Amino acid sequence: MSNSGSAPQWFVDALATPVETGKVEAAGATIAYRAWGESGLPGIVLVHGGMAHSGWWDHIGPQLAAGRRVVALDLSGHGDSDHREHYTLEAWSAEVVAAARAGGISGPPVLIGHSMGGIVSFAASHLHGDELAGVVIIDSPIRDMTPEELEMRAKAVANAGPPKVYAAAEDAVARFRLVPPQDEAEPYVLEHIARGSLKQVDGGWSWKFDNLRMGREGRRSLEAMSPGCAVAYFRCERGIIDDALYGRMVDNLGPDALLIDLPASGHHPMIDQPLAVVAAARTLLAAWGR
């Protein structure tokens, strides 16, 4: 990172924490994952949002790994995982469960999913609830399309050809944008995530996510889904969930769901309020652990 000198020590230490990487077959695709902490312990799976990747959690995962195993996966169509002809919540949910097992988590994991990853986690709580200890959803509309998904579908229509190639990685990093836009973001986190979003191709650098066929199918199946395990919801104060939508979602989450506000955070709290995400997750995991 070119701006590592301006990053706080906790961030530098998190990135220096030993990380294991691996791959697992799930629903006909090879899924990449990374893991922190001691293998064989109870743990959590971190599920990224649309057009993102497991590296969005590089500064979060190590801070949750004390006494537990933490796994972050690249959903198919993202990061270093395979692309598919079609993307469904059923397949993505199967990938999450498979990554938890392959990544060394003992027993039912807790899922923490952001935005589209929150939708995947909610679907997994219905489809695989008996295999999960709980699900934490971060600023996700659950049953509606996320801004990332809408952006991906727009890109798929506009970019019928091959993905854009940048001559230099720096050119691509300079073009990296959050969806939806977020004015306040820690620059050292943003740059780390941007660089991890790139792959080297003929002629330069391109984004890793599948920009030709992105966007999940089977949206209507969510209407019949209900959580089959413990659920908590982290609502970002400056996120995408307005009061009317939040009221409808609370009913979907069930009467025992824990509702937690993340103050002064935008839709991407791991970028503008990362320590608040860590503190909230630690507190919730401790409470569920009791």
Q: Return the sign of the alpha-carbon dihedral for residues 273, 278, 279, 283.
A: positive
Number of other CB atoms surrounding residue 228 within 10 Å: 17
CA distance 186 to 269: 10
pTM confidence score: 0.93
CA distance 45 to 39: 13
pLDDT at 266: 96
pLDDT at 93: 97
Instruction: Say which residues have a Cβ less than 8 Å from residue 286's Cβ, sequence separation at least 6.
Output: none
Give all strands (DSSP E) within 5-74, no chain letters. 20-26, 29-36, 43-47, 69-73
DSSP secondary structure string for all residues of 57-111: GTTTGGGG-TTSEEEEE--TTSTTSPP-SS-BHHHHHHHHHHHHHHTT--SSPEE
CA distance 29 to 49: 19
pLDDT at 143: 74
pLDDT at 179: 87
Instruction: Say which residues have a Cβ less than 8 Å from residue 237's Cβ, sequence separation at least 6.
Output: 261, 262, 263, 264, 265
Domains by residue range for the chain, with CATH: 15-289 (3.40.50.1820)
pLDDT at 216: 59
CA–chain centroid gap for 182, Å, is 17
Average pLDDT across each block of 10 residues of the chain; the chain has 290 residues. List them in order: 70 98 98 98 97 97 98 97 94 98 98 96 95 97 72 58 87 92 92 97 94 61 81 96 90 91 96 97 93
pLDDT at 289: 86
